Structure 1
Amino acid sequence: MIVYEFKVKGKDKQYRAIDDAIRTSQFIQNKALRYWMDNRGISRYDLNKYCAVLADLFPFADELNSMARQSAAERAWSAIARFYDRCKKKVKGKKGFPKFKKNCRSVEYKTSGWQLSLTRKAITFSDKKGIGTLKLKGTYDLNYYNIEQIKRVRLVRRADGYYAQFAIAVNVRVETQPTNQVVGIDLGLKYFIADDKGNVEQSPQFYRQSEKQLNRANRKKSKKFSTAKKKAKQRQSINYHKARNRYARKHLKVSRQRKEYCKRIAYSVIQSNDLVAYEDLNVKGLVRNRHLAKSISDAGWSTFRAWLEYFGHKYEKVTVAVPPQNTSQNCASCGKKVKKSLSTRTHVCPHCGYTEDRDVNAAINILRLGLSTVGHTGTYAWGDLPSWAVGENLLSNGESVNQESQRLQT
């Protein structure tokens, strides 16, 4: 499954219709979640049937395409299924109980409710929301694929406009020649990545570079915010919404910079090696450290891992996630544990005298753990991919195929 994304061009009336469709999809998703809360033990099919009930009760819900309503209910069921799965696996901490959506930004159609033009440069939505025909602006060519291969069409609202995503069912596997190389990667803050051979890639810190501009835009936005209007539950001024949009677009630029950087580094690592071992970091837990949260979020470790696993699956390379415990503390030469603080950037072993950069020493340990798991051969790994990036693997019923890299069990 791959996702092609196009920017859509239309009139203001059409954009307002898209916003209406997004709000309706959010309404159905929240109603489906409430229905599950009031009737425990129901299945995904019961939520799909409940969409027809909502269409009879609410005229604005009936205006949305029937498959788009089902897709909204499937989003609710996806959150429910993840909650059940975590409960069965007895995951420590919070199990992720499903929450109601407040700011949904997309609506998803399945195989009906839309039609591509003959040139496939425009798309027409035929439900009663009044979206109509939208022009598609992008470099991808949909003429290479049959209409039957397009399983989903999403309309996404972002700070810089509206986009259409096409989820296409294709085989993304590409055969490549083996490089006979393996690598261990340590993710860090001083260096974005460091491998076992001593090669390092500097962290670009896109957020840090743009922080002054972001703060300035945020202050301008705050000056235009009226507390009196908020208390009176009135809409803020047009100038406030313009300032908020400018602020959001700056954040969107930083996010795109980070994603493209992670994508480029992951592609280079996969193309140069047959096996890649990396840390199975709990990023969600690490960002709880208030001293390092900003730097960790700016590094984009989760985005890098998602792209690394995707390219590993696409080019048939082995990716192995290993536990990060003591990879920085253990000596890569003698294996003895050498305790050191985060400020200590050089590993000096008092037992064998081995001296190396802290991150490079960790990368060697990571590679050794990865090789002890699968050797030089193994099954190809691929992760649950972000739908806005490389295409979430969607089944016909809307569920995602969640597969992760091999993980070394301890």
Structure 2
Amino acid sequence: MQTFKFRLAPSKSQRTKLLQALELCRWVFNETLATRKKAWEQEKKSITRFDTIKLLPIWKAEKPELSLVYSQVLQEVCTRVDLAFQSYFRRVKEHAEKAGYPRFKGYGRYNSFTYPQTGFELLENGLMLSKIGAIKIIQHRPIEGRHRVKTLNIQRDAVGNWYACFACEVEPRALPFNQRSSPVDDLAVGIDMGLATFATLSNGVSVDNPRFFRRAEYELGRAQRRYSKDKTPKRRKVIANIHQRIANRRKDFAHKLSHELVSAYGVIFFENLSIKNMMKNHQLAKSIGDAAWRQLIQYTQYKAEWAGGVCELVDPRGTSQRCSGCQTVVQKDLSVRVHECPSCGLVLDRDLNASLNIEALGLESLGAPAFRRGE
């Protein structure tokens, strides 16, 4: 499955219809959640997804405007509530710290609705949506598997832009390295994530930290101060635009870097970092959040799987303290940026030493010799 996302350019009347559809879907979501919650609290009775779908005709009789939304879109809302409960019960079973009971959606907190297979049609210059009409779509690339579109998700972002997301069944494409006989060798790489340097590869290549949030922090602070004095929708939208621009730049950076990694290496290893715990360090939390290491790892994982490569996570314990040359543990705090081994005399950058250890651990986990580079 692959998703193709395109910007929509609805007219003023179409925007009104889209917003109306969102609000009606929000109403159905809250009503479905309330019905299931009430049935359990009062009768200890579990309401299924099919039970709530059967209630839709009754709700339509009470609230005629629901007929302005395509019927299967409303059914999909009931499915969302059911999925929220399934996730909740799974977290309870796993004894998660916060199970997170499904919550009601307030105004402006419901931002998408889904057409499951029917109710839409992609035209040459537009997108036909049932109950809404033909909307202009900015199709900047062809849709692969166009005749195998499974769902269409209509989304609204924080600044009011609309997008169409097509989930399609497509055939995976192998990248050039898959044509070689064995990807586990000189095409394997370990990557150490950091703050001074965003990523250090075991072959010595380093990637600078772009610090997108830090670079926009002054502009964002000024916009927030203005909003605190004049809390109008216009001022709020300025703040939302800045946040969106930061997120877009970060996403673009992660996509490009992950594509370069998957194109160049058959086997990629990252540390399995506990970022949630690392964020508890209030001195580094903002910089760690700005780096968004997990985003790069996720993008690399699905692209490697798509291309037939391997992207694995290894245990991060000791990767910075252990010597990559002789495996002696050399204790050093975070301020020490150079690794100096008293046993074998190896001197190199701390992050490079860690990336070599990550590569060795990864190769060992795959059953390959631990040291392949240069031997």
Which bracket does the TM-score occupy, shorter chain normalised?
0.7 to 0.9
Verify: 1:285 aligned to 2:288, yes or no: no
Q: CA deviation at 1:160?
A: 5.6
CA contact (8 A) 2:340 2:348 kept: yes
**14-23 or 347-356: which moved more?**
347-356
Report % sequence identity: 30
Question: For the residues of structure 2 that align with 1:14 and 1:106, how far apart are their CA atoms?
Answer: 15
- Out of 101, 107, 116, the residue aligned to residue 113 of structure 2 is 107
Partner residue of 1:82? 87
Verify: 1:362 aligned to 2:368, yes or no: no
**208-217 or 344-353: which moved more?**
344-353
Verify: 1:247 aligned to 2:235, yes or no: no
CA contact (8 A) 1:190 1:203 kept: yes
Question: For the residues of structure 1 that align with 2:53 and 2:284, how far apart are their CA atoms?
Answer: 43
Question: For the residues of structure 1 that align with 2:197 and 2:52, how far apart are their CA atoms?
Answer: 47
Cα-to-partner distance string for 1:104-126 (whole Å, 9 max, x where unaligned)? 22121112222333x2x212222
Partner residue of 1:132? 133
Question: For the residues of structure 2 that align with 1:346 and 1:53, how far apart are their CA atoms?
Answer: 70
Cα-to-partner distance string for 1:153-177 (whole Å, 9 max, x where unaligned)? 1221121621212111222342532
Question: For the residues of structure 1 that align with 2:35 and 2:195, how far apart are their CA atoms?
Answer: 45
Partner residue of 1:16? 16
Within a 5 Å distance, the mapping from 1:148-163 to structure 2 comes to 149-158=148-157, 159=159, 161-163=161-163
CA RMSD of aligned residues (A): 2.3
The letter for the 2-side match of 1:316 is G
Structure with max Cα Rg: 2
Question: For the residues of structure 2 that align with 1:53 and 1:281, how far apart are their CA atoms?
Answer: 50
The letter for the 1-side match of 2:152 is V
CA gap of 1:355–1:10, structure 2 versus 1, over 3 A, is: same
Partner residue of 2:191? 185
What TM-score results when the alignment is normalised by the length of structure 1?
0.79
Cα-to-partner distance string for 1:192-234 (whole Å, 9 max, x where unaligned)? 1111222210010111111111112222222212xxxxxxxxx
The letter for the 2-side match of 1:81 is Q
CA contact (8 A) 1:56 1:62 kept: no
The letter for the 2-side match of 1:60 is E
CA gap of 1:160–1:99, structure 2 versus 1, over 3 A, is: closer
- Out of 230, 250, 268, the residue aligned to residue 224 of structure 1 is 230
Within a 5 Å distance, the mapping from 1:288-307 to structure 2 comes to 288-307=280-299
Instruction: Give structure 2 stretches of 5+ with no counterpart.
Output: 370-375
What TM-score results when the alignment is normalised by the length of structure 2?
0.86
SS at match of 1:98: coil
**185-194 or 33-42: which moved more?**
33-42
CA contact (8 A) 2:145 2:169 kept: no
Partner residue of 2:336? 344
Aligned residues: 355
CA contact (8 A) 2:227 2:235 kept: yes
Q: CA deviation at 1:48?
A: 3.8
Q: CA deviation at 1:309?
A: 0.8
The letter for the 1-side match of 2:192 is D
Cα-to-partner distance string for 1:121-161 (whole Å, 9 max, x where unaligned)? 2122223xxx322111131234x6444x1111122112162
CA contact (8 A) 1:173 1:313 kept: no
